[in-house]
Structure 1
Amino acid sequence: MGGSKIRTTVVVLMASALASAGTAAVVTTVNTAQAAVLAAVEDEGADCAVPTLPDAGALPTEARLPDPFTRINGTRIATTSDWRCRRQEIKRLAEKFVYGPKPARPSSVTGTVTSSGITVNVSDNGRSSSFSATVSLPSGTGPFPAVVVYGGFGADTATIRAAGAAVISYDPYVVGREGTGRANKQGAFYSIYGNTSTTGLLQAWGWGVSRIIDVIEQSGGTVLKADATGVTGCSRFGKGAFVAGVFDQRIALTMPIESGSAGTPIFRGIPGEGAQSLSSAYGEQPWLGDAFGSFTSSPGRLPVDTHEMVAMIAPRGLFVMDNPHIANLGPRSASVAALGGAEVYRALGAGGNITYWSDVTDGTHCANRSEWRTPLQQNIQKFLLKTGSAAGAIRMHSKATGNLAEWRNWSTPTLTTGPTTPPTTTPTTPPTTPPTTGPTTPPTTTPTTPPTTPPSAGCSATVSLNSWNGGFVATIKVSAGSTPVNGWAVTVNLPSGSAVTNAWNSSSSGTTGAVTFRNVGYNGQIGAGGSTEFGFQGTGAGPGPAPTCTAS
């Protein structure tokens, strides 16, 4: 979804109004609060040996998300050091099949940094181009961290400056113009790499951000800090900000907003959610690389998905802001991407460095929102100013709550801190037997198995879990038997130390031990053989696999 290019400023409700409105959100605070570890270079894994990548025609269909911990050769990483080269594999796959290649740093990048602007001059392969950006400093004495704002259309710039960071207003269209055909791409990037380059606009825009960082590094740090750069954008510019953070490991904080299809939402989830179709996103503008065109109707053939792009940002700061009120933006699929990527953050010991926030009341696209103001300040303090330690949080609105358990058949390993084991460069043959159905709830995420002999009347309940260290989300499916149900009550048993913190599509009694959830007014009646769902979020471990259901 491209979205409006002009922000409508709105007055949003405060947190008290959110509560009174009855908004049910999935909320969990990730306890780990490790500082982000920045790379000294744009791509620190460039020296990794990567096996031969598969050809597009040889890719099997897999409805579930690829395992970010499994190398191309089929082995799983075992140490945190292994992630460096596994990340490089994902990068190469993403370049080949999704975004197009991002060229290595050009042979010459020069420019200037002042209190009001940045100039960038690039030369490579006998060609050159230039562009500029404006700078707005906060009050106080520098040098300052800075946030690159795509098109002046990202996170609230007043809040950014009030938090102590400068704003770099970056016009991505001077680097990669919209409104051109794929065979005639225009802008500073394509002036150097050719107007028939297979690299899409999102990657080209991110290349421009990288060149800005090059110039800041060369400037001596008198105005802006070289090791404290963030990036943000909304809608199409949210797509761009996300890709910039994925492919440049010098970016300390990535903040995409309502990015929609071609942004954070998992490609595999977009068709089922009713978001902007992949063919529409591919055709609206040349945002994605040319090679993605063969996957618009078959995203299950992609050997990567956006949860792995989220993971590529780890352990650096990531703050995803989303809109649950516009299905065309794919917020449910975006939450799955965040949950899947958060598994890599957690495995690297950086679970507190990722925030996903769709728990907002106002549905206006790209509006400033009061709910995001405090976490925006906290993320700037933690990752740019390096004065804060607030833990990240997952706050999913009940309208757009993703369930990672439905999308994966892999588990999260416990990575040790031992030495890395380089992967072999011998390519492996992809599996030849793809799944024939959509996402299923895999056994590794402890879904329950429905009774082998369902009741002829009454109701039954099954539970699937999405768990992490210290918390979980449980989705309960309530099914009617051979006769209709006019009301239901489901009891789950929580283990010691676990507690319910929030629930949706139900009312509950108690928060610990045996907790009973009852239908609300709109979901009590279930036709014979039909079903409905409710869910809850909690701390500690999730419930056991045998909830009981009583029909009334």
Structure 2
Amino acid sequence: MGYPTLEPATMGAIPSPYPRNFRPSAEGRRSAIPWKEGLVTTSPGRSDIRSTIAALAIAALTVAGVATLLPAAPPAEAAVQAAGVEDEGAGCAVPSLPDAGSLPSVAKLPDPFTRLNGTRISSTADWPCRREEIKRLAEKFVYGEKPAKPAGVTGTVSSTGITVNVSHNGKSASFSAKVELPAGTGPFPAVVVLGGFGADTAAIKAAGAAVINYDPYAVGKEGTPRSAKQGAFYSVYGSSSSTGLLMAWAWGVSRIIDVIEQSGGGILRADATGVTGCSRFGKGAFVIGAFDQRIALTMPIESGSAGVPIFRGIPGEGAQSLSSAYGEQPWLGDAFGPFTGSPARLPVDTHEMVAMVAPRGLFIMDNPHIANLGPRSASVAALGGAEVYRALGAGADITYWSDVQDGTHCANRPEWRTPLQQNIQKFLLRTGTAAGAMRISSRAAGNLAEWRDWTTPVLTSTPPTSTPPSPSPSAPSPSAPSPSAPSPSAPGPTDPPPSSPAPGAGCSATVSVNQWAGGFVATVKVTAGSSPINGWTVGLTLPAGAAVTSSWNADRTGSGGAVRFSNVSYNGKLGAGQATEFGFQGTGTAGALGPACSSA
């Protein structure tokens, strides 16, 4: 497939990350560009981290179609920091990996908490070695191997650029990246932006972080056959290497971090690096963050097939097929080929790659308007990976945001600017405590309950002192306090049923509740009657001891007892029979809520 050529202001002329049916505008992808349906989308380490993650705020629930704000971390606690090494599980003993020919077809997502030997982890101290197992599986069956740090890595860091020189086993390669510093005095944290296309660079610099403009094609070039790959990575490891471009790009960023570490930290901080990219570069950013634990903040955007969306969900969603993604470019490793038509045979899936980032910062930005990008499958991956974040006590450190109005591919959306800067402040500057959020658009909301048959364990924060648990999954003990709420996509048996519609003047309201010990999330659907309405108000009464802590898509009056919600500017006008949703999170027990709706 051919690609248009674009010349970003921050890079030289490089092929665009867009599929061939897109023609980005000169204004930087902000103009409305129609999506043509039917076309293909391109689209041993620190020990103290264990005690840190145990002290973080609990995760919140995710409700399809609405925003659920996660509880903020206590002000006295800093965000989880990146590990000081590329792979803190490198010293773990990993059992023999299965052979491709022996893999059974399993429709459900693999259990991220179950080891290769069939036992389940029981402590946060177990996670590094379990993560290493997932890493090895992903390398063998999905991306190809990411070699460890080469024998020789040298380079320079200046206020305008970074040079990288690599030598290994008699072979060498070099590449460079441009640097843009923010205002102020360094040393600065930095965000690596792949190919000039990622999160808003102006917003990144305004938040106080530098931008490293990284050309992935200098490390792994597109448009080459799998048997003759080109770029710095393949100059060192051979043009016929079975490692795909995404992992080659990840290797390149790891070598940039090596050079920053060696530079003395006068300009850029080696302990505060983020990564972002959109479309094919979103795929790259996702893999980079998963496979280098020195990355403090990972921010993929609209990554599509071969990116965040679960492989198992892509065929049923109408996203770019796996065979197309595998064949379009050698993004994925050569070993992935046999799985393009049978992803259920994969012993890993992308929810586990999301989990590989845990407990570090992760901000996934997605587009619900383009089915070819697989946003529904991406939300399932985020929900599945968030279960690991919750179990590690770091649920407040993951954000998934697809609730956006503009459907243009790779646009800089206003909805993302605030959470982008909050994530930079929290994970790179370490001055913020804003909790993550799950803002899943109702246009493309996945249901994790449909994809898993495993439960999320309560992990202790100390190393296990007894024999490993049995191979069978077990739910948290009812007598043990849960560190966080159960997934809203898998409601518990005690959840109250949705209420019946309450008649009102021109509108009705129904409510569904996900309840857990000590809290709940409610989703309220407002439906216009036989005539259009220009506004609505919903009143309900909370039982004693219950209180609203946050709400979204509505203005609120009161927090306990009689509470009233009214429309905001963009969801008040409803045509006859049309509906909108708002939600709120509370403490205590919701009980059987009876909403009453009145219209204007």
TM-score (norm 2): 0.73
SS at match of 1:44: coil
**Equivalent position of 1:253 in the other structure:** 297
Superposition pairs of residues 333-482 of structure 1, within 5 angstroms:
333-420=377-464, 445-446=491-492, 470-472=519-521
Distance in 1 between the 2:341 and 2:224 partners? Answer: 23
**Equivalent position of 2:126 in the other structure:** 82
Superposition pairs of residues 67-466 of structure 1, within 5 angstroms:
67-420=111-464, 445-446=491-492
Structure 1 residue 10: Cα displacement: 2.6
Distance in 1 between the 2:120 and 2:431 partners? Answer: 36
**Equivalent position of 2:477 in the other structure:** none
The answer (yes or no) to whether the contact 2:546–2:589 under 8 Å persists in 1 is: no
The structure 2 residue matched to 1:30, chosen from 58, 70, 78, is: 70
* AA in 1 matched with 2:422: Q
SS at match of 2:439: strand
Structure 1 residue 500: Cα displacement: 11
The answer (yes or no) to whether the contact 2:144–2:334 under 8 Å persists in 1 is: yes
Distance in 2 between the 1:110 and 1:422 partners? Answer: 45
| Gaps in structure 2 of 5+ consecutive residues | 1-16, 33-63, 472-486, 498-509, 526-539, 564-573, 595-600
TM-score (norm 1): 0.79
**Equivalent position of 1:487 in the other structure:** none
Distance in 2 between the 1:207 and 1:281 partners? Answer: 21
Q: CA distance change for structure 1 residues 140 and 204 in 2, over 3 Å: closer, same or farther? A: same
RMSD: 4.0
Aligned residues: 493
Distance in 2 between the 1:104 and 1:152 partners? Answer: 27
Deviations 1:41-85 (A, max 9, x none): 100100000111111111111111111111111111111110010
Deviations 1:271-328 (A, max 9, x none): 1111111111111111011111111111111111111111110111111111111111
Superposition pairs of residues 515-530 of structure 1, within 5 angstroms:
none
Structure 1 residue 354: Cα displacement: 0.7
Structure 1 residue 446: Cα displacement: 3.2
1-10 vs 331-340, which moves further: 1-10
Q: CA distance change for structure 1 residues 282 and 6 in 2, over 3 Å: closer, same or farther? A: same
Deviations 1:435-475 (A, max 9, x none): xxxxxx999753699x9xxxxxxxxx998969799555779
SS at match of 1:183: helix
Deviations 1:473-507 (A, max 9, x none): 7799xxxxxxxxxxxxxx9x999737697799xxx
Q: CA distance change for structure 1 residues 212 and 354 in 2, over 3 Å: closer, same or farther? A: same
| Gaps in structure 1 of 5+ consecutive residues | 13-23, 429-440, 452-460, 477-490, 505-509, 525-532, 548-552
The answer (yes or no) to whether the contact 1:498–1:541 under 8 Å persists in 2 is: yes
Q: Percent identity?
A: 69
Distance in 2 between the 1:25 and 1:165 partners? Answer: 32
Deviations 1:231-259 (A, max 9, x none): 00000000000100000000000000010
The answer (yes or no) to whether the contact 2:29–2:408 under 8 Å persists in 1 is: no
The answer (yes or no) to whether the contact 1:82–1:421 under 8 Å persists in 2 is: no
Distance in 2 between the 1:355 and 1:219 partners? Answer: 32
The answer (yes or no) to whether the contact 1:448–1:462 under 8 Å persists in 2 is: no
Q: CA distance change for structure 1 residues 385 and 201 in 2, over 3 Å: closer, same or farther? A: same
Structure 1 residue ranges, 4+ long, deviating more than 3 angstroms after superposition: 1-9, 420-424, 441-449, 461-476, 493-504, 510-515, 519-524, 533-547
SS at match of 1:315: coil
Q: CA distance change for structure 1 residues 119 and 494 in 2, over 3 Å: closer, same or farther? A: farther
Is 1:497–2:546 an aligned residue pair?
Answer: yes
The answer (yes or no) to whether the contact 1:494–1:514 under 8 Å persists in 2 is: no
**Equivalent position of 2:48 in the other structure:** none
Superposition pairs of residues 526-541 of structure 1, within 5 angstroms:
538-539=585-586
Deviations 1:90-145 (A, max 9, x none): 10111111111100110010000000100000011211100000001111111111
